[in-house]
Structure 1
Amino acid sequence: MTWGWTGIRGTWTTPAAEESMRRMAEHAVTWTAIAYAAEQATPFSTEIPFEAEPTVTDDEIVASIRRAHGLGMKVCLKPVVNVADGTWRANIGFFDWDVPGEPSWTQWFASYRDFILHAARIAEAEGCEMLCIGCEMVRADGQEAHWRALIAEVRAVYTGPITYNCDKYQEDRVTWWDAVDVISSSGYYPIDSWQEQLDRIERVALQHGKPFFFMEAGCPSREGSAELPNDWNLVGSPSGAEQVRYFGAMFAACRARPWVRGLMLWDWPADLYAPEQASLNDDYCPYGKPAADVMMREYRAWAAEASA
């Protein structure tokens, strides 16, 4: 389960955050992606001021990692870049080649490198069991040489497994999977397309001989979301039944594929809503909703099968 998004400064070391993570651990969650965002100003900016607000501080990150470890969960540290003007990070982009006087991929990756290497050093010092070096960077995915250079530098400071979280439908488009240890993606697939998408992704995992899991997956508890699980702005009434329906299809499809090593569900906030408000909450978090029982049952069964 992803915890803490988007990592707003001042929200990770509160009593509410401690209670949130404790409740998450009680839901059969064995791995958590501690996810936070740094913000660049526009999709064409080349500076990522990750030490500035609103990004959480190093102390908050370290405290959250230690709290998760203390609760018995393994941690994937997940630093992500967002765009302050609201543009989706998939659209961060520049000319394919460097042009004098224009912002470039070389300039952007220099700043991104500092951000990711900073996270890598924290992950190493705190014994994080995995590091995710990027999330849904669709336009950046094509910059193979830059990614390979970054991964080499990350390996010089972080000794654990490295993954990259590509966006949905992009699993067979990334050309540098051989450079990471684990392939992962955002599995926000329509409820009736899981088999088709898993057939496609299976070819990628087998081709590269790498473990695969869904770094993000899930569905809002909202009418209509099972068909558009990636659309958090979809108009619809709160519906626990809709989320249950989606979880059932998603877990059944994934657990039937031995090469799918798990699901990192999206997401569990640092400031958790009250359980009596769960029926009115139409977001991704399953806390207090019928889908929480589905998740716990499926996670426990999956773990039992893996250890048999």
Structure 2
Amino acid sequence: MTWGWTGVRGTWATPSASHSLRAMADHGVNWTAIAYSALQETAQSTDVRFREAPTVTDDEVVWAIREAKGLGLKVCLKPVVNVADGTWRAYIGFFDRDVPGEPTWGEWFASYREFILHAARIAESEGCEMLCIGCEMVRADAREDEWRALIAAVRAVYSGVVTYNCDKYQEDRLSWWDAVDVVTSSGYYPIDRWDAELDRIENAVAAAGKPFFFMEAGCPSREGSPDRPNDWSLAGAPSGAAQLRYYEAMFAACDARPWVRGFMLWDWPPRLYADDEAAANDDYCPYGKPAGEFLREAYGLRAADAEMSQQP
């Protein structure tokens, strides 16, 4: 499960955040992606301001890692860049060839590299099992040389598993999967498209020769969302039943594919809504909803099955 998004300063390292992590762990979760964002002004800015508010502080990041590990969870640290004006990070981009007086990919990667290496050092010092070096950077994905150089720099300071979270439909478009340890993507596929998309992804994963899981996957608890699970602003009445239907379909499709190693489900906020507000909540978090009970049952049964399989 992904926890903490978007990493707003002052919302971590609180009693509410501690309660949220404990509640998340109670749903069969064994891994968490601790996710936070740093801002750049526009999609063509080259300064990633990761030391400034509203980004969480280093102390808050360390607190979250230690809190999660204290609950027995493995941790993937997931630093992400966002655009302050609301533009989706997939549109961050510059001219293919440098032009005097215009922002360049080299300038942007220099700032982004500083951001990611800072996170990598924290991940190493705190024993994070995994580090995600980017998320849904569709226009930047084509910059193979820059990503390879960044990954090499990360490996010089971080000894754990390195991955990159490509966007949906991009699994077969990256040319540098060999540089990471695990292939991951955002699996926001329409409920009736899972089998077809898994067929396509399977070919990409086989070509890469790497393990695979969905670094993001989920669906808002909202009418209409199973058909457009990536659209967090879709209009519709709250519906726990719709979210449950999506979870059931997603799990069934992926269970039939042993090469899918699991999910880092989206998502779990640092401050939970009250139990009696769950039915009216139409966001991705499954807490207090039918999908939450589904997770408890699904992962509880799987844990029991795994234990039985180890019996003589």
Q: Fold match, TM over 0.5? A: yes
Q: Which residue of 2 aligns with 1:12?
A: 12
2:110 matches 1:105: no
Q: Which runs of 5+ in 2 are unaligned?
A: none
CA distance in 2, matches of 1:225, 1:109: 35
Question: Residue type matched to 2:229 in 1?
Answer: P
Letter in 1 for 2:62: V
Equivalent AA in structure 2 for residue 137 of structure 1: M
Distance 1:194 1:302, change over 3 A: farther
Which residue matches 1:199? 199
**Residues 131, 187 of structure 1: alpha-carbon distance in 2 compared, 3 angstrom cutoff:** same
Q: Are 2:144 and 1:149 aligned?
A: no
Are the aligned partners of 1:251 and 1:298 in contact in 2 as well (CA < 8 Å)? Answer: no
Q: Residue 51 of structure 2 corresponds to which residue in structure 1?
A: 51
Cα pair 1:3 1:268 within 8 Å, conserved? yes
Count of aligned positions = 308
Say whether the 8 Å CA contact 1:138–1:166 is kept in structure 2.
yes
Identity of aligned residues (%): 71
Q: For 1:219-272, what per-residue CA distance to the aligned partner results, in whole angstroms no more than 9, with x for missing partners?
A: 000000000000000000000100010000000011111100011110000010
The 5 A counterparts of 1:70-219 are 70-219=70-219
Aligned CA RMSD, in angstroms, stands at 1.0
Distance 1:186 1:108 in 2: 24
Alignment of 1:269-280 (within 5 A): 269-280=269-280
Q: Is the 8 A contact 1:186 1:215 kept in 2?
A: yes
Provide the C-alpha distance between the structure 2 equivalents of 1:305 and 1:88, rounded to a whole number of angstroms: 41
SS of residue paired to 2:264: strand
**Mapped partners of 1:150, 1:231: distance in 2:** 31
Deviation, 1:70, is 0.1
* Corresponding residue number in structure 2 for 1:262: 262
The letter of the residue matching 2:13 is T
The amino acid across from 1:108 in the alignment is W
Check the 8 A contact 1:222/1:237 in 2, yes or no: yes
CA shift in 2, pair 1:169/1:82, >3 Å: same
- Kept in 2, the 8 Å contact 1:12–1:270? The answer is yes
- Is the 1:255–1:302 contact (alpha carbons within 8 Å) kept by the matching residues of 2? no
TM-score of the two chains, using structure 2 as the length reference: 0.97
SS in 2 for 1:78: strand
Match of 2:34 in 1: 34
Q: TM-score, normalised by structure 1?
A: 0.98
Q: Give secondary structure in 2 for the equivalent of 1:17.
A: helix
Aligned equivalents of 2:128, 2:97: Cα separation in 1:
35
Question: CA separation in 1, counterparts of 2:184 and 2:303?
Answer: 19
